[in-house]
Structure 1
Amino acid sequence: MTATTVRPTEAHSAFTHRMSAVGTDDAFLAAALPFLAEGIAAPDEPQPVAIADPAKLDLLRDALGPDAKAVGFVPHTEWYAGSAANAVARAAGHLAAHAGPGGRIHLLMEPVWGGRAGRSPRESAEWIRYEALANLLFAPAATTALCVYDTRSAGPAVIEAARRAHPDSDVYEDPLRLAAELDAVPLPPAPRDAARLTRPDAGAVRAWAERNGLPVADAELFGTAVAEAAVLGPVTGVTLWGEAPGCVCELALGRRVDDPLAGFVPPRDGDLAPGQGLWYARQVCAYVDLRPGDNGGTTVRLQYA
């Protein structure tokens, strides 16, 4: 399956995106068990999959008893192993490999709010953006997802923001509006002593990153990611700063890039390889931010980690 850009006004979404906030193990089971039973009973579907904290997976296995064999179990630390963009790739890959006709499958999903996803307001915002854009990215797929938010690890602000990203909530926001709101938060300015290049040359970026502490393999990835993002060009300026692992490159583009899904739609082959533009950059870097630039242009900021 290839994720397709679908605006809410263009088509009725086949994707069912639910949310449940729980505060106890009993509440988790009360939300999860009926959902998984629904998936087990659904025609033309493979087994439902539970992606959650390992301790919660143990609870599910015990509660399901013999029915546990009809459910797939994935520790959420394996599924959510990187950035929000990496989670898009993981979900698209799983649907392509395992979903039934039209993308039919039930997925119980719990992000790692006690880890990467909840480690900072910036990181939490990345995951809320992912939750919002999932409504567009996976709109054509007949997938049913239940996102579980445990109030013991996800704070009130995160849960309230997440409600705005799920259509079954009474405070649901249009994904484009919510993404724009998140992107309206100003980025810190580049330091005055930042380095500057005349063009986004992958070799020059790699050499700079090595001098600033990135291992050779990581510097190679970062340089390639910058070159891939530069395909959006024309590039009118390149600024570099920071030290490993948080090396940053900012590109000034001479044109406006307005698509909030730019770089989030998976390529058809699903593999990560140069030539995929902003998709490659998002998969390699922890953060890729697009903001309106000067004179109708766009600023693209890439941070490796």
Structure 2
Amino acid sequence: MDHPSLLALFEAYLTAERRASLHTVVAYTTDVTQLIDYLSEQIPEKIATAVTGQDLRGWMMALAKEGLSHRSINRKMAALRAFYAFLATKGLMVERPTDVLKSLKGKKRLPIFFQEKELLAFLDQYLFPVNFPGLRDRLILELLYGTGMRLAELVALCQTDINLENGTVKVLGKRDKARMIPFPKPLIQLITAYIREKEKLDHPPTPQLIVTNTGKPAYPMFIYRVVKKYLAPTIRSSQHSPHIFRHTFATHLLDKGADLQAIKDLLGHASLSATQIYTHNSLTRLKEIFKKAHPRAEES
């Protein structure tokens, strides 16, 4: 079978059987097309169904020499694994050459977070409009910082998940694992005012807590726009996204002496290793304080 036919079948497989998103379908078919182009240039006698693990490793090495990041290379490996798994299920290959491929490990980047003084000054001093959009936008920012919940968790949050009496919110995290997160007391008044205004909207009610101006459930890009609208002009940071609030929540808790296990539970991490990356930020901050404060810190 020729390469165009294989690609067409693979695309159909991703769409119909894997039910992959359009983004994934485009990315994976592009990656496989790049592999085919590489084979035609470097190993013209080879077709995609006859490659070996060594051939694929050669392509990975070539990509690395070109300066492609380990994340991009790993993404291409994932595309190849899906492609050759597809060929195997269709009986077009017996062995999978991708079995010898191992994902590359790169240097972990420290989480970006907002500085405490800057963020608190903004939240305390910014004059949000005293109407439904203003209350909602402020609630989005306060919930993200006050609970550390994920973007998807905020979008899916229902009004019934909020317990105003004991100041907690029930969040449904990854793998449908529920957890309870306490939230700051000032949020009780804000949530109450927001719900009051939300009920005045002339639109069919929805169970989701956060809704748009037209009363429809909020979606990820909507939350992104709200965060960027308020923080990009006011808070110094290389990024202004909802997820930065999650990093900020964890870092600020750790800076104040919170137990790492407790932070893990609040974030909904499956293991403590995922939470430990925040200790690097706190250690960096402590080193800076030490250099400024200790009399012998600058001695050679």
Q: Smaller-chain TM-score range? A: under 0.3
Q: Which protein has greater RCO, CA pairs closer than 8 Å, 6+ apart?
A: 1
TM-score by length of 2: 0.22
Larger radius of gyration: 2
Normalized per residue, which structure has more helix? 2
Normalized per residue, which structure has more strand? 1
